Structure 1
Amino acid sequence: MADRFDLSTPSERWLWKKDTLREPTLLQSFAFDEVNKHLYVLQLRRGGAAAGDLCLNRLDFQGKRLGHMELRGFGHGVAMGVQHGSDGTVWIWTEADAKDGYGRGVTRFRFFDGAVRTRDDVKVRHPIPGSTGNQPSVCTASRRIAVRHRVDGKPRYRIWDLADFVARDYSEPIADFAQTGAHPDPDIPFQGYALHGDHLYQLAGTAYDAKTNPPARRGNTYLSCLDIRTGRLLDRQRTEAGHSLDHREPEGLAVRQGAGGQLCLGLASGAVGQRRFSIYYKPHKA
């Protein structure tokens, strides 16, 4: 798992301007179920940001919606993960126990089309007591889970062996380090991350804006890579993927293990109330 994605490689288009999500809002994050060829996408429900109300979509790999769930009081949906149990069960990992719209813990659950889950009927885990803004990412290749969180308002990452985490043994994390290097401008919003082996990839940027981020400049979106063994920033590159999109807001980062390995980047477009999503990817470094 020493190889990493080359962030300077031009991105390639996978899905383009899809309007198949249940809610007309932005996508927030996404994750892959390679075994069943499903793409899971989180969105905020209309008017649900303050309460942390999310919609979880299940799509096929062509972007067609196959079902959805409502998640009430879970969080903002900045990152998510998919886990395959030894018995074939597919588990979805998200933040949970929202306060001020962001999760104070994480949880896992099974997908059931049309189901409604609340913070009271899932088993919430609080691996970092007192932390806020908890957001999980699962690496299916290394069988690890990362939780981005805030302590005293400052973002950090903590990473565990997934089996230990499932067993609620949080005593020996593999790594624990501060978030760094997501964007040259520290005031630019963080938009997602993904764990892959010994590396952690970050996404930051804003939507197009006529004054501060005009389309002619092809955006201010950056991808970066951290080494989880040291917490050090290894690389950071601006990406012009999907620069012709209107709005073009970066939202969500995920690794697809199939097709030789792909680092996938989500982009939102369209007018308010009529949002669409696109996904671009960078192939794995040879």
Structure 2
Amino acid sequence: MQEHIDLAAPAVRWLWRKATLREPTVLQSFAFDEVNRHLYVLQLRPGGADRGDLCLNRLDQRGERLGHMYLHGFGHGVSMGVQHAPDGTVWIWTEADAKDGYGRGVTRFRFSHGAVRTRRDVKIRHPIEGSTHNQPSVCPATGRIAVRYRRDGRPRYRVWDLDAFTARDYAHALADLPQTGTHPDPEVPFQGYALYGDHLYQLAGSAYDGTANPPARHGNAYLSCLDIRTGALVQRRRTEAGHSLDFREPEGLAVRHRPEPRLCLGLASGPVGARRFSVYCKPRT
């Protein structure tokens, strides 16, 4: 599991300008359930950013919606994860316990079409005392979970064995490292991350605009890779995937594990109130 996905590999279009999400907002993050061939996508509810109100979509492999549920007071939806329990139960991991729109903890729950969940309906975990902006990612290959968090305003990652974390053993983390190397310009927003093997993949970039990030320059989105064993920046590359999209805001990062690892990035497009989403994938070469 030590070889990382080459960020210089060409990106291949998988889903293109889909308008199948429940809400008219951009996607925030996504994760794969490859056993059941489902794609889960998080969105903010319109007007719900300050409260941390999210919509979770379940899609098929063509990007068609199979169902949705609402998560009130959970967070911003920067990342998420899927866990397969030994009994076949599928658990969704997200941030939870929102304050100022971002989760102070994480939780897991089962998908239920049409349901509305609040913080009172789930068991919230606070694995990193005194932290804010807790956002989980699950590695399907190694059975690990990462939580991105902030302490004293500085973003970091902490990684655990998923079985131990599920059992609430937070004292034996496998790694803890600072977030670094996301973009040459530190003012450009962070847009998502994914844990896979011994590496963390990061996404940063902003939507097209008429001055600093015009469409003619094909965007300012960057992908980067950190080694969780050392904290070192392994690779960073600008990506022009989906550069012909209007608006084109990078949103969300995930890894497809089967039949071979592919790093997938989400891109939002379309006008306000009618956003669409696309997904591009980079194979391990």
- Which interval holds the TM-score relative to the shorter structure? over 0.9
RMSD: 0.4
Aligned-partner SS, 2:29: strand
Which one-letter code corresponds to 1:252 in the other structure?
A: G
Q: Distance in 1 between matches of 2:284 and 2:67?
A: 30
The residue aligned with 2:199 is 199
TM normalised by structure 1 equals: 0.99
Aligned-partner SS, 2:58: strand
Structure 1 residue ranges without an equivalent (≥5):
none
Q: Distance in 2 between matches of 1:8 and 1:250?
A: 17
**1:120, distance to aligned residue in structure 2 (A):** 1.0
**1:259, distance to aligned residue in structure 2 (A):** 3.0
Which one-letter code corresponds to 2:246 in the other structure?
A: D
Which one-letter code corresponds to 2:200 in the other structure?
A: L
Aligned-partner SS, 1:21: coil
The residue aligned with 1:240 is 240
Q: Alpha-carbon deviations, 1:120-164, whole Å to 9, x = none?
A: 110000000110000000001100000000000000000000011
Identity %: 75
The residue aligned with 1:173 is 173
**1:174, distance to aligned residue in structure 2 (A):** 0.3
Aligned-partner SS, 1:165: helix
The residue aligned with 1:59 is 59
Give the alignment of 1:183-222 within 5 angstroms: 183-222=183-222
TM normalised by structure 2 equals: 1.00
**1:279, distance to aligned residue in structure 2 (A):** 0.0
Structure 2 residue ranges without an equivalent (≥5):
none
The residue aligned with 2:254 is 254
Q: Distance in 1 between matches of 2:27 and 2:56?
A: 10
After alignment, is 107-116 or 257-266 more displaced? Answer: 257-266
Which one-letter code corresponds to 1:85 in the other structure?
A: A
Q: Distance in 2 between matches of 1:223 and 1:259?
A: 22
| Deviating 4+ runs (over 3 angstroms) | none
Q: Distance in 2 between matches of 1:216 and 1:121?
A: 47
The residue aligned with 1:22 is 22
The residue aligned with 2:38 is 38
Which one-letter code corresponds to 1:32 in the other structure?
A: F
**1:261, distance to aligned residue in structure 2 (A):** 1.4
**1:4, distance to aligned residue in structure 2 (A):** 1.0
The residue aligned with 2:281 is 281
Q: Distance in 2 between matches of 1:230 and 1:172?
A: 17
